[in-house]
Amino acid sequence: MLKPGSTIGILGGGQLGRMLAIEGARLGYRCVGYAPEGDNVAAEVCADFFVARWDDTAALAAFAAQCDAITYEFENVPLSVFDTLPVEPVFPPRKALEVAQDRLAEKRFVEGLGGRPALHAAIDSRADLDDAVERIGTPGILKTRREGYDGKGQWRIASAHDAESVQLSGGPAIYEGFVDFGAEFSVILVRGQDGDVRFWESARNVHRDGILATSSLPAGEAIAGQVEETHALAKLVADALDYVGVLTLEFFATTNGPVFNEMAPRVHNSGHWTIEGAVTSQFANHMRAVAGLPLGDTATVAETVTMTNLIGKDSASAQTLLGEPDTHLHLYGKKQARAGRKMGHVTRLTRRTGSGQS
């Protein structure tokens, strides 16, 4: 258990790191960040921040020298960083990144635990793609196996003709058949160092142009009926990885049961509603887990919750939303609004009768 005044390092400088650092400070910890050059909005709320390349071993050593524990805010931190960091512990564990950084490895890992992903195939050549399209069928989606998020690194294939026109980049890819689903949802859990696992209520997610637009509660009957099965699978994943921190698994709700989409070994955009909508937010519980503290209650405190991402210029007039009842605005401090960029989010609550107004 980290004593108050200890330092927690955060790899990555985006909005997730920013919100983690805020919660770390509330728990009495000093947070130090590390990320390559960029719009590192987490730096504004960290006690210290290192701007250096991922392969700068001297900078990594200086960063680690300040840290009593280290975590990360996104899953594309190069694994080589963990080979050079001269400090333990790092939470979540390296194994979680190894699995999550490769979409094919991720699907095979979850399949091995009894999960059911979409039909898929590894793509390393034009012949592989042609065979996958013939075997799995269309429509489908071609994705890079590594990196890519918010719709980046993905190409929809509506027909065999579309597949012929795709220019393969030369890197490993994966082809997935489309899933006929009624809704999308996330399972978000936190696992402590003692193995204690707690779940937040699953929200219904709506995406636009490959980017999460809204997460809302209650999620509806189609999702509610599949939560028990997905919770069981998510716990198997967390236990198999000896996981510590917040873990997110995304699913499609179908008439034949839940279909696994992908996992994220970190706090997640679809869990932002927990800041105001749950007793303990995903950010607070992640930092509790990293510090070895008891986990907090994850119960929902409102009758309804809707989290809406503010993307691009949507954030320009966001402050006017504060005039609405029980509405909570989070702007991430990013300097330039551009299409597809998450600039902030707003959460609207309907309180349970007698619970009062925040």
Domain-located, residue 99: no
Residues 123 and 42 in one domain: no
**pTM attached to this predicted model:** 0.93
SS3 content of the chain, % helix, strand, coil (to 5): 30, 30, 40
Q: What CA–CA distance (Å, rounded) separates 245 from 11?
A: 14
Domain-located, residue 338: yes
Q: What CA–CA distance (Å, rounded) separates 79 from 54?
A: 10
Q: What CA–CA distance (Å, rounded) separates 289 from 308?
A: 27
Domain-located, residue 112: no
Domain-located, residue 302: yes
Q: Which domain holds residue 282?
A: 183-351
Residues 330 and 195 in one domain: yes
- Tens-place pLDDT, residues 270-304: 999 999 999 999 999 999 999 999 999 999 999 99
Residues 158 and 187 in one domain: no
The CATH number of whichever domain residue 11 belongs to comes to 3.40.50.20
353 has pLDDT over 80: no
Residues 162 and 194 in one domain: no
Task: Tell me if residue 89 falls in helix, strand or coil.
Answer: coil
Domain-located, residue 100: no
Q: Where are the alpha helices (DSSP H) in 282-323?
A: 282-291
Burial of 185 (0-12, 13-18, 19+ CB in 10 A): buried
- Tens-place pLDDT, residues 132-155: 999 999 999 999 898 766 556 788
What is the pLDDT at residue 356? 45
What is the pLDDT at residue 358? 39
- Tens-place pLDDT, residues 160-213: 777 776 777 668 899 999 999 999 999 999 999 999 999 999 999 999 988 999
Domain-located, residue 18: yes
The CATH number of whichever domain residue 259 belongs to comes to 3.30.470.20
Contacts for 110 with CB less than 8 Å, ≥ 6 apart: 117, 233, 237, 249, 260, 263
Domain-located, residue 1: no
Domain-located, residue 2: no
The CATH number of whichever domain residue 153 belongs to comes to 3.30.1490.20
- Tens-place pLDDT, residues 15-31: 999 999 999 999 999 99
Q: What CA–CA distance (Å, rounded) separates 198 from 195?
A: 10
Residues 203 and 295 in one domain: yes
- Tens-place pLDDT, residues 29-86: 999 999 999 999 999 999 999 999 999 999 999 999 999 999 999 999 999 999 888 7
Residues 143 and 212 in one domain: no
